[in-house]
Structure 1
């Protein structure tokens, strides 16, 4: 009887234990070369747009052009980022058709490459999660993929919208949860953003900043919960940590899509953004730290916390040394200031943030997909070794700070059509102060 109970208990454990989630491969979209733009080309284009009367209050507020140029020059973006075809045209083509083309080119380009590199058939995909914050047409982007690749009728598909630059980690977390329920299957996660219809043509400075930072990009990630994929998978997912402080009004309003005083839609960035980002990051770190840090760092953090709370409120928070927990850091390339701040607060070296800075320089802010361009950079440089731990951290409107932690299962080589393969010899580059 005891033996039977033991066997039944073992069977129940096997059936209900958490499924290991493997990252088989991923692909980042590389736009065609004719979509490249330099700062000089952008400024020339902007001036023509204003002269043709496509910009609100043409002839007024010329100082705004100086403002835009200064942001572009100090942003950390290089001279070969990409904007969509509709924004290269004169007059601008900010149409639904243009927006569909931008997003379809990006997501299908990335997904095609993942299927090609892995040999996985679209019919094997059981879960599909797509995220795009500001462009959510009907039928959905997920349905576009289902239709293009003729995915099976019982596909578990979700389309995440309005969740900002941190949505890529949210999509991974959602896929992970679904992979715990649906066994022996693949999950396809697609992260992108659309800027064709989101170019702001007004005179609000806080809304013009996004024009200077966001560029074309996207990524497709293939996950598996099947043990047979362990030998060929690149990484194993260890943790996901999500923090959402949207219940606070300042967090909710620090990055808000709204009408300006002339009725033009843009995303306004409030003066509270740095404070909100720092606070949300601290909460994420406090949650993630106990999961990944060595015992010594946990104790130092705990002792400082107790002393501050019960004895001396003036004591500074202890920032754990996350370099003891991770070999690689993929910090969302949201902007130069964001990378600078995390480098300083986490006490990282220039090498630790190199992938983030170079991604911002080469591709700009590609929103939720930027952390994958960074991982692709690390692979292309040949730095990813078996057992290395990776921290992907992304911040976005809401306000949200999300983390995903991976472990390399082997010495990882870049996959075919890595977005850096044609320009890697140029990097790293010096970023002007």
Structure 2
């Protein structure tokens, strides 16, 4: 996204021609540089030649300069009050189903208690129904509820006519129906027939950050004004595991309902209305390593029950992948002072034969706020250790996990909403979104805030932000 295009190279070429033309005429004519303007004013051919080169350069600059990638606004889905699940009600639901052994129920409750989730996270509708059995329609209804709620709110906040939307991107890791979820959006909002749609799945919890990177690449590649509607949804109804494999029972204990939507554009005229501007994005894939590839894996157990297996070494894999990722990210975002110090530490590590470890760059010098992966208590702790982040900086992730649970790809948006609810974002602040995904993927998105945070009625934290942060989380 940041590489020079062919047009930009041609622009630089014409600029070079202009400079060389002036120098060549000056040297061949023996005219002092101080008299260059006088020479040009008396030599029509040279003046016209220079003017032509300058005009072409200006035209190409105006035509090829990259437009900003702006997030006009975003929204997060908040289910109804009666969809909240506490430890007590969760135990009641799983025991009532009769689908689990007592040992499996006790294990899920133990994971729930240790995970960092609170008593107000949300589960899909089928959990509260008598049959306690998810069907395709259950998953579709869950998706529709979240998507329509978020998009309706987003269109209201941005005042964008749906007919202006020319790109729709939907990320859903586990649920991919036919027709696709993008078709669902196009049909419901009656979008125009030439709308481009991208329906992506299998990205795991990184899909929220990846969706922003994907949208940025799409609008940045367009030479016309583009409005991209991005939806991140995780319909967990069909992902609920009914078996006794402990690596697969974990997902029942930590994954919760979540949906988010954002409007991305490259229209520079909307800068005054936009919430944030993209500064940098980076995605790395570590799937070549077998342990990384299988760390989080959808499969069937011995009895044919489908579920998501979260391996014991998932936290270790996340730590290693993060270290590799930040080695690529650091040179792109850190100030020179940090890069010099880091380079020196690497050299000393080599000279000492590994006795001295390279320093961990201080990312607080590059970012004002952090939206880190809210996968679970252990994952947050691992990220904090790798990046040397204090409890204050991981507060949004920890509180988001407590209030909403692991909402998969949407977790970075619920954290962003936490900053807005607390009115912590100031104009010019830089915010780092960092998320992991199955495969194993790591994605970073860096935003610059274009305005101060303000209290909003649609914010999912509005009715509870005063209770956070928790003292004894």
Shorter-chain TM-score bucket reads over 0.9
Q: Does the aligned pair in 2 maintain the 1:117–1:415 contact within 8 Å?
A: no
The match for 1:120 is 160
Partner of 1:404: 445
Q: 1:232-251 maps to which residues of 2 (within 5 A)?
A: 232-251=273-292
Cα distance between partner residues in 1 of 2:87 and 2:438: 27
The one-character-per-residue Cα deviations of 1:155-203 (angstroms, maximum 9, x if unpaired) are: 1110110111101121111111111222212111111101111111111
> Normalising by structure 2, what TM-score?
0.87
1:423 paired with 2:464, answer yes
Q: Deviation per CA, 1:273-321, whole angstroms, max 9, x where unpaired?
A: 2222111101211111111111111111112223334542232231101
CA distance in 1 between counterparts of 2:253 and 2:340 reads 43
Aligned residue number for residue 396 of structure 2: 355
Distance between the aligned counterparts of 1:416 and 1:390, measured in 2? 23
Distance in 1 between residues matched to 2:345 and 2:245, nearest whole Å: 43
Deviation at 1:74, TM superposition (A): 1.3
Gaps of 5+ in 2: 1-48
Secondary structure of 1:374 counterpart: helix
Q: Which residue of 1 aligns with 2:193?
A: 153
In the other structure, the counterpart of 1:287 is 328
Separation (CA, whole Å) in 2 of partners of 1:259 and 1:234 = 43
Q: Name the residue aligned to 1:257.
A: 298
Aligned-partner Cα distance in 2 for 1:136–1:75: 28
The 3 A distance-change label for structure 1 pair 128 and 310 is farther
Name the SS for the 1:5 alignment partner.
helix
Matches within 5 A, 1:260-279: 260-279=301-320
Q: Which residue of 2 aligns with 1:318?
A: 359
Matched, 1:344 2:385: yes
Is 1:45 the equivalent of 2:45?
Answer: no
Find the counterpart in structure 2 of residue 391 from structure 1. Answer: 432
Which residue, 64, 68, 74 being the options, matches 1:20? 68
1:136-285 to structure 2, matched below 5 A, reads: 136-182=176-222, 183-285=224-326
Q: 2: CA distance between counterparts of 1:128 and 1:307?
A: 49
Q: Distance in 2 between matches of 1:30 and 1:150?
A: 25
* 2:116 maps to which of 76, 85, 106: 76
**d(CA) in 1 for partners of 2:273 and 2:456?**
12
Task: Show the counterpart of 1:99.
Answer: 139
Within the candidate set 419, 423, 433, 1:382 is matched to 423
Take 1:218 and 1:256, find their aligned partners in 2: how far apart are those partners? 22
Are the counterparts in 2 of residues 201 and 264 from structure 1 also a CA contact under 8 Å?
yes
Q: Which residue of 1 aligns with 2:406?
A: 365
Check the 8 A contact 1:134/1:194 in 2, yes or no: yes
Q: Please give the secondary structure, in 1, of the residue aligned with 2:229.
A: strand
CA contact (8 A) 1:376 1:414 kept: no
Q: Give unpaired runs (5+ residues) of structure 1.
A: none
Deviation at 1:19, TM superposition (A): 1.9
Check the 8 A contact 2:117/2:401 in 1, yes or no. yes
Residue equivalent to 2:368: 327
Q: Which moved more, 1:294-303 or 1:24-33?
A: 294-303
Counterpart-to-counterpart distance in 1, 2:195 and 2:231:
15
